[in-house]
Structure 1
Amino acid sequence: MTAADRMAGFLARQSRQRVDFDALAGAADQGDSSLPCSPGRRQVLADAAQELVRRGLVLLPAGHNGWDYSVHPPLPRWVKRPPLTRAARTKPGPRAWVSQLSRLATVQLTPGDHVLLGPVNTLLRDRPDAEVIPLAERSYELYGDEKYLHGIERHRLVTRKILDVTAHLRARPAPAPLAMFELGPARWMLIVENSAAFTSLREVLGSWPDRDQVGWLGYGAGDQLIASLPTAVDSFRERDHPVDRILLYADLDIDGLECARLADARGRAAGLPALQPAVGLYRALLTRPLRAVPAVPPARLREAVSWLPPGMASDVFDLLAQGKVLRQEALPLPVLRACLDPEAPLLPQL
């Protein structure tokens, strides 16, 4: 998904016609942990803004005051969504819902709701016991578009428990699997957020002298971890190698911490152990050079750092409140290797 795609998704959820570009830029950062600190970020954002214009999703400011010229390339301070052309509405007529969808008769439905629900009603009428299949496959079958049902779990009918993905759509999520590597027989897994840190830890743990001390190593790939973590259940079962502890080593920034909290909740709901911070690695990371970023509101920070143990949480809160973060790349392979002592038990060091 490109920066423009993430911006477009953010725009689709907004009710106001005018949207601050800083909010769009924040949406572009989501899912790409390398973008916020990339020297080419501003050009990426400028290109994404032009792509949104080409898609007909936004209008850029016409006057000089609507642009930030402090650094090249200039960026808009805000964008406007073009006014919608209102088509004449025709109110859908009464519909006989199958018994599974009978609650819909008590809800005021929009024309878009009827477009969504019509094929579901037909499915439950003709095949009420249809096999539960991946959501994208059901989406293609019912609507001719594999992405039509993407994000359906956030639809108001689903959140109000009137429409159920499994019972009514006869579908289930099928997230990309967590990339996992079985390095040894120990009953733990360490998940690493960024590819560079993952590569370094794979080299260190792959050559650990006592193989019995080494377990699984996973690659979290930013906020994709939230959706992919539950798939680890199947890998543990297929390899007959369960775990008692799952550790996460991510960037010490607001995105990494919020991702950790959400992934922890999603993993526990799937029956996995709690997702714990790799405190030993974080202690080493906290000794490394800091990076400056825009500060985060304290209320949001307090909730995010609550995933960390209390002493470390207060230290990280202070750093992030000052607009400082620590990326995993600040702990390079030689330093990381020196931090881990092959003569001592491995897991406590992590």
Structure 2
Amino acid sequence: MTAADRMAGFLDRQFRQRVHFDALADVADQGDSSLPCSPGRRQVLADAADELVRRGLARLPVGQGGWDYSAHPALPRWVNRPPLPRTARARPGPRAWVPQLSGLAAVQLTPGDHALLDPVNVLLRDRPDAEVVRVAERSFELYGDEKFLHGIERHRLVTRGVLDLTTHLRARPAPAPLAMFELGPAPWMLIVENSAAFTSLREVLGGWPDRDQVGWLGYGAGDQLIASLPTAVDAFRERNHPVDRLLLYADLDLDGLECARQADERGRKAGLPALLPALGLFRALLTRDARSVPAAPPPRLREAVSWLPPDMASEVFDLLAQGRVLRPEALPLPVLRARLDSAVPLLPQL
């Protein structure tokens, strides 16, 4: 069975029109133990996405915002299932909802909504105080499919406040942990968005002469950082090595800046310090050659660059408005090594 076959089977079991590509990639990984570590994984996933389109099972995003350009080839952030043909269909009859779900009586529900809600109704009827477990575990218990509830926090009933993950599903998210490396005892962490820059900085910081100046190094893995950043709280506690400063070195493009703002908000809610731009690295990056991409919409740009200090925000706004972006790969290992001077304190250089 190919990656496309496994993705197709997963799509067939979904109740939402839009399916995040991370979920499809997970299905492909689970069917081929060699794929997660394969250097050709992205190409396999890209080919599988194209195959889904050829089979008429998925539609790919239109526009730059729907794609992950952190490595080659680009991968879609989601796929849309083709709309089903309109057929006359009897609507499900009224349900006797448990008190916790009584608000559903005023909501027009689809058959897909009932497929989601009926098992939840039974759970709350029989075990209203069920222990709160991970989403995938509850998903398997209620639907026989650990992926059925993937992305449930974006379902319209959840975003409208009618269905609650903890109160009704008795579940909680289990994001992939942030990849973190304790390089030294200093109370700070630098998070790097992409793998090339992360590997280079790990080499430079791992060989820093004064170990007391070095702290944590984290790998953000693109927009997965938004979900994974709060897991750093547990790592800091387990190692008894808290931080008072979090820095991020990411793409200077619309997606990278929007990811930074959202990760900052999510991290603060989890009790972490503010996620700050690694200004020293960004200033060095701004001296490098930019690459051309389609220009981003100015309203989104203004909001995205607000994560940066005003002087840098203005410069980056002008750059992105002209359809130019900067990626950390433009600041390679030899340049990084030359710019980070071991004779002066490290943190201000970052």
TM-score (norm 2): 0.80
Aligned residue type for 2:57 = G
Per-residue deviation at 1:206? 0.8
Partner residue in 2 for 1:301: 301
Matches of 1:203 and 1:81, distance apart in 2: 43
Aligned residue type for 2:58 = L
Matches of 1:331 and 1:250, distance apart in 2: 12
Matches of 2:247 and 2:138, distance apart in 1: 35
Query: Residue 56 of structure 2 contacts residue 82 of structure 2 at CA under 8 Å; is this kept in 1?
Result: no
Query: Residue 177 of structure 2 contacts residue 229 of structure 2 at CA under 8 Å; is this kept in 1?
Result: yes
Per-residue deviation at 1:168? 0.7
Partner residue in 1 for 2:54: 53
* Paired residues for 1:1-350 under 5 Å: 12-13=17-18, 48-57=49-58, 84-350=84-350
Matches of 2:329 and 2:96, distance apart in 1: 59
Structure 1 stretch displaced more, 175-184 or 322-331: 322-331
Matches of 1:113 and 1:44, distance apart in 2: 30
Deviations 1:35-81 (A, max 9, x none): xxxxxx9999787444312143359xxxxxxxxxxxxxxxxxxxx98
Aligned residue type for 1:136 = A
2:248 aligned counterpart, secondary structure = strand
Which ranges of structure 1 fall in alignment gaps of 5 or more residues? 15-23, 25-40, 60-79
Deviations 1:180-239 (A, max 9, x none): 000111111000011111111111111111111111000001111111101101111111
Aligned residue type for 2:240 = D
Matches of 1:92 and 1:129, distance apart in 2: 28
Structure of greater Rg: 1
Per-residue deviation at 1:329? 0.8
Which ranges of structure 2 fall in alignment gaps of 5 or more residues? 22-41, 61-79
Query: Residue 190 of structure 2 contacts residue 249 of structure 2 at CA under 8 Å; is this kept in 1?
Result: yes
Per-residue deviation at 1:150? 1.3
2:222 aligned counterpart, secondary structure = coil
Structure 1 stretch displaced more, 260-269 or 291-300: 291-300
Per-residue deviation at 1:85? 3.1
Matches of 2:263 and 2:314, distance apart in 1: 22
Matches of 2:81 and 2:173, distance apart in 1: 31
1:181 aligned counterpart, secondary structure = strand
Structure 1 stretch displaced more, 150-159 or 180-189: 150-159
CA 1:83–1:202: 2 relative to 1, 3 Å: closer
Matches of 1:223 and 1:161, distance apart in 2: 25
How high is the sequence identity, in percent, across the aligned residues? 77
* RMSD between aligned residues: 2.9
Matches of 2:83 and 2:217, distance apart in 1: 49
Per-residue deviation at 1:93? 2.0
1:223 aligned counterpart, secondary structure = helix
Question: Number of residue pairs matched?
Answer: 302
CA 1:328–1:82: 2 relative to 1, 3 Å: closer
CA 1:216–1:43: 2 relative to 1, 3 Å: closer
TM-score (norm 1): 0.80
Matches of 1:244 and 1:215, distance apart in 2: 11
